[in-house]
Amino acid sequence: MASALPPAPAPPASPPTIFSAARRAALRARMRRLQQRPDAARYVVDDMVEDVLDRLSFLRHAPARALVIGDWTGTLATALAAQGCAVTRADPVPGPGETPIDEENPIPASEGFDLVASLGTLDTVNDLPGALLHLRRALAPDGLAIMSFSGAGSLPALRAIMLAADGDRPAPRIHPQVDVRAGGQLLQRCGFAAPVIDSRSLPVRFGSLERLVGDVRAQGLSNCLARSGPALGKAALARARAAFAGQADAEGRVTETFEILTLSGWRK
């Protein structure tokens, strides 16, 4: 009598669609347009670039080939090239001199990179573990990945303002965020050696809600959720401005916090 066949393994579950690829591309394209303005904010990416260079100096890691993702300023690529490194620049919405990249798909590379630096893009991918695996596989043996993005605790003032604006029917407006503990688990799960996870705060003071929102948009940090809330109407906008004023200090300014999570690890 024939024995019953064992049940077929269940197919791998697809990651949930938290972010809209189209909205993500649109906000990065808008960021590039806004960056043409002389007073455009860029302090978040500047902080990330400085941190990458500091880490490389401390570790005495001098890469010969590097993949830089998300640095639309070109500052990190320029600094690495000045040290003799061959740099490939990439972005989900590429500008001049950049190649298109989708971190949720395999990254083509004829040879592994000694350094992969990802700045400000991994917080809006639907499959973060998959993206980390692709980045690790793009490394050469003994290659280093440094990945920075907005982490848990970012934009608390704006979160509170939006909750006040929406009243009894809060809408999804702020992205879900990864904390240090979850970041460490992800690095271990994806096979990185000697993982290091840390978070740092970048406080910035604002004199108006409009400037706060403007800086968020200019740096590509605005909402790209797949199911986003509706635009604020006049009444909701008035409540938002009142909530901003309610948080202001004696000088009429509100301190907002940009929390930057950095994950780093090696391929052995």
pLDDT in tens, 154-166: 999 999 999 999 9
Confidence at 4, pLDDT banded by 50, 70, 90: low
Q: Is the pTM of this model over 0.85?
A: yes
pLDDT for 15 = 83
Q: Give residue limits of the domains in the chain.
A: 21-155+177-204+258-267
Give the pLDDT band of residue 228 (cuts 50, 70, 90).
confident
**Residue 110, pLDDT above cutoff 70:** no
- Cβ–Cβ contacts within 10 Å for residue 67, how many? 25
pLDDT, mean of residues 43-64 = 97
Q: Mean of the pLDDT values across residues 75-83?
A: 98
Cβ proximity of 257 and 154 under 8 Å:
yes
Taking the C-alpha atoms of residue 1 and residue 106, their distance in angstroms, rounded to an integer, is: 46
Segment 240-267, tens digit of pLDDT: 999 999 999 999 999 999 999 999 999 9
Largest CA distance in the chain: 86
In the chain, the percentage of residues whose pLDDT exceeds 70 is 95
The pLDDT confidence band at residue 13, using thresholds 50, 70 and 90, is: low
What pLDDT score does 135 carry?
A: 96
At what angle are helices 128-137 and 180-189 packed, to 10 degrees?
A: 50
pLDDT at position 208, please? 98
Nearest to 91 by CA among 27, 28, 20: 28
Task: Provide the token pair at 177.
Answer: 């965020």
Rounded Cα distance between 114 and 267, Å, is 9
Q: Residue 102: what pLDDT? A: 94
Q: Report CA torsion sign: 52, 58, 62, 63.
A: negative
The contacts of residue 190 (CB under 8 Å, 6+ apart) are: 129, 132, 133, 136
pLDDT of residue 3: 46
pLDDT at 204: 98
SS (H, E, C) the chain: CCCCCCCCCCCCCCCCCCECHHHHHHHHHHHHHHCCCCCCCCHHHHHHHHHHHHHHHHHCCCCCEEEEECCCCCHHHHHHHHCCCEEEEEECCCCCCCEECCCCCCCCCCCCEEEEEEECCHHHCCCHHHHHHHHHHCEEEEEEEEEEEECCCCCHHHHHHHHHHHCCCCCCCCCCCCCHHHHHHHHHHCCCEEEEEEEEEEEEEECCHHHHHHHHHHCCCCCCECCCCCCCCHHHHHHHHHHHHHHCCCCCCEEEEEEEEEEEEEEC
The CATH label, of 3.40.50.300, 2.60.40.1290, 3.20.20.70, 3.40.50.150, for the domain at 21-155+177-204+258-267 is 3.40.50.150
The arithmetic mean of pLDDT across residues 105-134, rounded, is 93
Structure tokens at 227: 């199911």
Q: What is the pLDDT of residue 229?
A: 87
